[in-house]
């Protein structure tokens, strides 16, 4: 069973290829009547279906649905729900959020925190946090709908097929497992569609507008020569207290005090994840504020400078950016200063079988499994690549030549890096289909000047994306009409 399947974390893939953790389960707009119709306060005829947490969309790097050690999210028995009266607790532009939707989301978030071994914050604090996330989610989906962002059924079906495969299930078995856990399949589909929509919305509104000039690249490369710490990685946790775009001095002081209180609790020993769930407005707040491992040169300059001299376990002062106030903790550090500009290159070849409406996932895996057995039995890899590969490299026996880190999609690169020279991988799934991979050689190589500039451009773009995304969310939230009715319950 997919215990807790609806509490899976959501990953949204930016155009740069970096994954940005999103918050909690998504809620489908327009559950009450028709989309765009505002319900009346008080009791609603029938409560909308429970908001369920979608699995990570794979556009292109889907995260497996975790098999969380939490109870199944089955509907409560009728006796437990007798006498329940649903009410509107917030209005977002011309749509509503109901008490039932909030309670469903609260239940999922609590399960999620338990699975992460994060102590939940006080109920009133968590309730405010979850409601704010639901409001921001709803505002983004409304904006996406108004601006014509769509996801077609074929893309959606392929994404769900990847999620099922990553749970080692057929699509049919995956659907049945969801339904056994009380997750209606059509609801799950719409939640995944919403995640894909939000990913495309971010790519269009934020990622595609990031610009990096030649002068910035020149400055970055010079800084790398004088202070080559780019390969140092930090495992970070983060709290953001978002500030409205035109905040008054009184508001600024109130938000700064909130950030100072959050930092004070962390320093005094309160669990960081609990504090993040109570205070943070960042997308990762309900995942314990975890940013994960980040290279220093891919962090916003404000963060990079603040953490440079911190030891594991230490916390930055309260930091101020255009988005708001930040508190960052360094959980761990790894790597060393990058001296010479050398990288590991890999000489690799592969056989690709693309999936389509004609070739299913199972058929592609089965075909490559048989090909792999023939190679292990002594057949020539290059000849089988020419006969079976759907890639342009087939005519070269599948040879991709010498490749640099980052040249291939993450799934391919991870599998390649785990192979010993001469080994052939099991079938590996990527956005292109299934691959058999063989490593022929490895070597150290100097990075050419043009590749240095290309990498610098990518690093600088990644620095800007997170800041720009937070700023965009803040502006969207500021211009969204919100009416709170939580106190009317």
Whether 80 shows a pLDDT value over 60: the answer reads no
- The architecture CATH gives domain 342-446: Roll (3.10)
Query: Following DSSP, what letter does each residue of 272-319 receive, concatenated?
Result: HHHHHHHH--STTGGGTTEEEEEEGGGS-HHHHHHHTTPPTT-BPPPE
pLDDT confidence tier of residue 384, bands split at 50, 70 and 90: very high
Residue 402: which of 450, 464, 444, 433 has the closest Cα? 444
pLDDT at 222: 83
Whether 472 shows a pLDDT value over 70: the answer reads yes
Find all residues with CB under 8 Å of 223, minimum gap 6, and list them.
none
Which of 32-36, 91-95, 272-276 has the lowest average pLDDT? 32-36
Q: Report the topology of domain 229-338.
A: Chitinase A; domain 3 (3.10.50)
Q: Taking the alpha carbons of 415, 410, 191, 71 in that order, is the dihedral positive or negative?
A: positive
**Domain-by-domain residue ranges, the chain?**
5-208, 229-338, 342-446
Average the pLDDT over 370-389 and give the result. 95
pLDDT at 227: 66
Whether 288 shows a pLDDT value over 90: the answer reads no
SS3 for 376?
A: helix
In CATH terms, are 5-208 and 342-446 the same topology? no
Q: What is the pLDDT of residues 300-358, one digit of tens each?
A: 889 989 998 899 999 999 999 988 999 999 999 886 544 445 778 999 999 999 988 78
Q: Taking the alpha carbons of 117, 123, 128, 133 in that order, is the dihedral positive or negative?
A: positive
**What span, in angstroms and rounded, lies between the C-alpha atoms of 8 and 70?**
11
pLDDT at 385: 95
Average the pLDDT over 278-286 and give the result. 87
Average the pLDDT over 387-412 and give the result. 91
Q: What is the pLDDT of residues 190-245, one digit of tens each?
A: 889 988 999 999 999 998 899 999 999 898 888 777 765 556 889 999 999 999 88
pLDDT at 107: 83
Whether 264 shows a pLDDT value over 50: the answer reads yes
pLDDT confidence tier of residue 64, bands split at 50, 70 and 90: very low
pLDDT at 66: 34
Q: What is the pLDDT of residues 167-179, one digit of tens each?
A: 888 888 999 988 8
Whether 117 shows a pLDDT value over 70: the answer reads yes
Q: CA 464: distance to chain centroid?
A: 17
pLDDT at 19: 31
CATH code, residues 5-208: 1.10.4030.10
pLDDT confidence tier of residue 7, bands split at 50, 70 and 90: very low
**What span, in angstroms and rounded, lies between the C-alpha atoms of 32 and 329?**
42
Q: What is the pLDDT of residues 155-165, one digit of tens each?
A: 898 888 888 87
What is the average pLDDT score of the chain? 79
């Amino acid at each position: 069973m997919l215990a807790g399947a609806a509490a899976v974390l959501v990953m949204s893939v930016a155009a740069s290829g970096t994954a940005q953790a999103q918050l909690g389960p998504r809620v489908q707009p327009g559950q009450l009547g028709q989309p765009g119709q505002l319900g009346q306060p008080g009791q609603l005829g029938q409560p909308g279906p429970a908001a369920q947490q979608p699995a990570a969309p794979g556009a292109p790097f889907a995260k497996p649905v975790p098999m969380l050690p939490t109870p199944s999210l089955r509907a409560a028995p009728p006796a437990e729900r007798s006498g329940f009266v649903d009410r509107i607790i917030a209005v977002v532009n011309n749509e509503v959020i109901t008490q039932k939707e909030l309670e469903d989301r609260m239940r999922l978030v609590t399960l999620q925190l338990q699975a992460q071994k994060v102590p939940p914050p006080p109920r009133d604090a968590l309730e405010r946090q979850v409601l704010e996330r639901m409001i921001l989610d709803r505002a983004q989906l409304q904006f996406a709908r108004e601006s014509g962002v769509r996801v077609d059924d074929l893309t959606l079906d392929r994404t769900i097929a990847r999620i099922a495969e990553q749970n080692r299930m057929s699509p049919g078995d995956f659907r049945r497992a969801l339904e056994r856990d009380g997750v209606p399949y059509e609801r799950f589909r719409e939640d995944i569609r919403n995640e894909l929509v939000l990913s495309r919305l971010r790519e269009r509104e934020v990622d595609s507008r990031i610009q990096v000039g030649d002068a910035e690249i020149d400055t970055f490369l010079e800084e790398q020569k004088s202070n080559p710490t780019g390969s140092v990685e930090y495992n970070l946790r983060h709290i953001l207290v978002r500030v409205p775009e035109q905040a008054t001095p009184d508001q600024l002081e109130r938000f700064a005090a909130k950030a100072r209180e959050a930092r004070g609790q962390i320093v005094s020993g309160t669990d960081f994840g609990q504090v993040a769930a109570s205070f943070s407005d960042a997308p990762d707040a309900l995942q314990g504020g975890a940013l994960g491992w980040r290279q220093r040169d891919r962090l916003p300059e404000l963060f990079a400078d603040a953490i440079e001299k911190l030891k594991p376990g230490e916390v930055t002062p309260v930091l101020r950016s255009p988005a708001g106030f930040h508190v960052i903790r360094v959980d761990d550090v790894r790597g060393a200063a990058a001296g010479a500009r050398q990288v590991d290159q890999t000489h690799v070849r592969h056989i690709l079988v693309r999936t389509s409406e004609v070739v299913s996932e199972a058929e592609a895996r089965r075909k490559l499994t048989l090909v792999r057995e023939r190679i292990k039995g002594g057949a020539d890899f290059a000849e089988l690549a020419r006969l079976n590969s759907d890639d342009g490299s087939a005519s070269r026996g599948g040879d991709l030549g010498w490749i640099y880190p980052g040249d291939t999609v993450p799934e391919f690169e991870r599998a390649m890096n785990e192979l010993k020279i001469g080994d052939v991988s099991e079938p590996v799934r990527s956005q292109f289909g299934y691959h058999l991979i063989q490593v022929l050689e490895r070597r150290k190589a100097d990075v050419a000047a043009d590749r240095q500039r290309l990498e610098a451009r990518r690093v600088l773009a990644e620095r800007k994306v997170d800041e720009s995304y937070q700023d965009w969310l803040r502006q969207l939230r500021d211009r969204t009409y919100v009416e709170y009715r939580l106190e009317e319950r």
